[in-house]
Structure formats: C-alpha cells, structure tokens
Amino acid sequence: MQVIFKHQDVEYVCSVAEAKSLAILLDFEGLQPNHFGTEKASNEVLKLGGFTGDTRAGGSCNVDSLEMIPHCNGTHTETVGHIVNQDIWVGHAALDLLSLAFVVTVEPKLAKDTADVYRPVLEPENWVVTREMLEKAIAEVGVIEQLRPSALIVRTLPNSNDKCARAYTTESQPPFFTVDACDLINETGIRHLLVDFPSVDRMNDDGLLTNHHIFWNVAERTHELSEDTWQEKTITEMIFVADEINDGLYGLNLQVPAFGSDAAPSRPVIFPARAVS
C-alpha cells in the first residue's frame, strides 16, 4: 500500500509497508530509559471495591493504573506549554497526518572542540551537536531550501541499543544542541523537531532552557507567550532511530494522544518518501 501526500505543492509517495516506529518501548516492569533521576514509570493493578483488574487473580479483565512522567520516562512530544505560563496542550499541536521529514545522523563532539556557544557557558566536557555538523548532515540528505521539510529527525552516534534503557544522570549526561545549531534549525523552518536524547538543552543549565526558548521564539528568562511565539511547533525527545533506517527523506506520522497537558508519550512513525515525478 502506498500513500501520496502533498508538501509545498509537490506530491510525495510513501510505502506504508516500510513503516518504522521511532518510539522506545516503555516496559513498565523492565528496563526503561530515564532522565534526571526521576522515578521509573510504573503500573499497578486497579482494585476498586470488589473488582480486581487482573484475570490471573480472578478478575473479569485486566485494568492497570499507570504512573509516569512523560518528560523523563521515554519517548514524548512537548509543546511550548513546557516553558510558558499558558496552557498549550500537546493534543492540539501535533495534528499533521503526514509531514515531510529529514532523518540525519551526527556525531556529537566535546564543547572544547567547537567555537559554537550556549547559554549558560559551555563546559569543556559537554557533548554537543553543532551547527556545522547539522549543516553537513542535512546537505547530504538534500537541498533543504528546495524541499523545505516540516520535520527534522536527529540520530546521534554511537547508536547502541542501550539508548532504549539508558539512565541519564549528572555523571552520564546526554548531548544537546548548541545555540548555533538551534538557530540553524529555526532558519530551516522546521516545525517538528525529533531527537534521540532526552532534552535539546543541557541537563544542568541553571534553569534557562535556552534552546527551548529559541525554538519556540519565547523571550529568554520569561514564561509568557507573545504574538511572535510559534505555538504550532513541537519537540519530540528520547526517540530511537535504529541503524537499519538510512538517512534520507521520509513521511512522518507523529502519533500523540489527546492529552490536556504540555507533553505526552508519543509514537513517531516514519515511511520512506520520494517525490512523484
């Protein structure tokens, strides 16, 4: 089965049979990724009056109560509501059925080896994704000014499967974007940004969340929307892009539940795409 969709007046065809999910399986009873040292996501059998939500314990059906922190417990999508006082719900922001996306691969480098900047000041041992490496990776996929994709999917190297159960802590900090790299992403007109690390900002950043503010065009050190804020944009973090997925052009179906929250667990699905000649 194939799906044809139009982007910027150009028709693209996607092969549904080649769909790949970028979401990390959230195993409530096993290993799972974790950011910021939060509690693991957990489940508990519902017990209400004489009802037990466990068929193995004599219940008529299985019903679990789930507890999790979307920002820290796995693949999730967030809106500008993450950094402002106003309620901007994720269920209202990610409604595109299909978006044209670039998948690119980069290898973060130590901050001491780049002239890029960050706020607060970079520390030499920080691992960062720079503007130069993003420019090079994007250029190898296609001419972004002509194709003008709506989404950018960033895979970092090394790309071992342990990303699906990695605990990111102060001692084991993930990479993040430099300000220069985030500026480039905005210059390309990207609406949906997807990354395989837990935050586009440094874990310990004095609470500035600089790149979040830049991406959504919210004045730094403020928490208020303005008429210039890009409310329609989303950030998806803690994805996993398997090695079998090549860099290139894809259709993206960003599946997000209708949560009245700034963030929710999500399931990005991609399909290889090509322009219809």
Q: Where are the domains of the chain?
A: 2-27+70-275
154-180 average pLDDT score: 96
pLDDT of 68 higher than 70:
yes
d(CA 217, CA 44): 40
pTM above 0.85, yes or no: yes
Q: What's the pLDDT at 142? A: 85
Q: What is the 3-state secondary structure (H, E, C) of the chain?
A: CEEEEEECCEEEEEEHHHCEECCCCCCCCCCCCEECCCCCCEEEECEECCEECCHHHCCCCCCEEEECCCCCCCCEEECHHHCCCCCCCHHHHCCCCCEEEEEEEECCEEHHHCCCCCCCCCCCCCEEECHHHHHHHHHHHCCHHHHCCCEEEEEECCCCHHHHHCEECCCCCCCEECHHHHHHHHHCCCCEEEECCCCCCCCCCCCCCHHHHHHHCCCCCCCCCCCCCCCCCEEEECCCCCCCCCCEEEEEEEECCCCCCCEEECEEEEEEEEECC
The three-point CA angle 32-38-83 to 5° equals 110
Span 2-27+70-275 CATH architecture: 3-Layer(bba) Sandwich (3.50)
Residue identified by tokens 């990005």 is 268
Q: pLDDT category, 92, cuts 50, 70, 90?
A: confident
CA dihedral 273, 275, 276, 277 (to 10 degrees): -140
Q: What's the pLDDT at 94? A: 66
Q: What's the pLDDT at 146? A: 85
226-248 average pLDDT score: 97
d(CA 58, CA 62): 10
Q: What is the pLDDT of residues 113-146, one digit of tens each?
A: 999 999 999 999 999 999 999 999 999 998 888 8
Whether omega before 158 lies within 30 degrees of 0, making that bond cis, reads yes
pLDDT of 259 higher than 80:
yes
C-alpha closest to that of 26 among 62, 55, 79, 64: 64
